Amino acid sequence: MGFKDLKVLNLALLAKQGWRLSKNPTSLTHRVFKAKYFAGYSFMEAQVGRKSSYVWRSILATRETVEMGSRWCIGNGRTVEIWQNRWIPTPDNFKVISPQGLNVELVKVAQLIDGDTRMWKVDLIKKTFFPYEAEVILKIPLSPRMPEDSLI
């Protein structure tokens, strides 16, 4: 078939399984792995245990690849952390590069959304972020239904 690097192909296939674990919580595979290896946590927060299987350790080794290839789609903002998660649709890396500064109380994206009007808090965003980041954030559409945030 002409595969040049079987190791890279294997990692890509394992990363696909990791993505499926994080996105399909009702699948049998997810339920079995969750019960055995990451009960009480999400796939992205899971740790390698002392007696982890080779399959689990292999899938877990691709978590960084899954994380680098995904970002958050903003719904209600309750799940997404402003300074740690990838959520701003910029061509660089989807992360905030503005310094946190004195805004220690700002943790979740939900704090940037007015719960009553279901719109961005424009003044707070312009005060907190670099101008080009503020512009990008304000262009992110918000649904009036305020669904849960989703990893895409």
Same-domain pairing of 76 and 45 = no
- Domain limits for position 142: 71-152
Same-domain pairing of 44 and 60 = yes
> Cβ distance 59 to 11 under 8 Å?
no
Length reported for the chain: 152
Same-domain pairing of 79 and 106 = yes
Same-domain pairing of 99 and 151 = yes
pTM higher than 0.85 for the full model?
no
Same-domain pairing of 49 and 92 = no
Q: Which long-range contacts (CB under 8 A, 24 or more apart) does 100-103 make?
A: 101/128, 103/128
Q: For residue range 96-125, what is the model confidence (pLDDT) as tens digits?
A: 999 987 777 899 999 999 988 999 999 999
**Total domains present in the chain:** 2
Domain closes at, from 22, 47, 68: 68
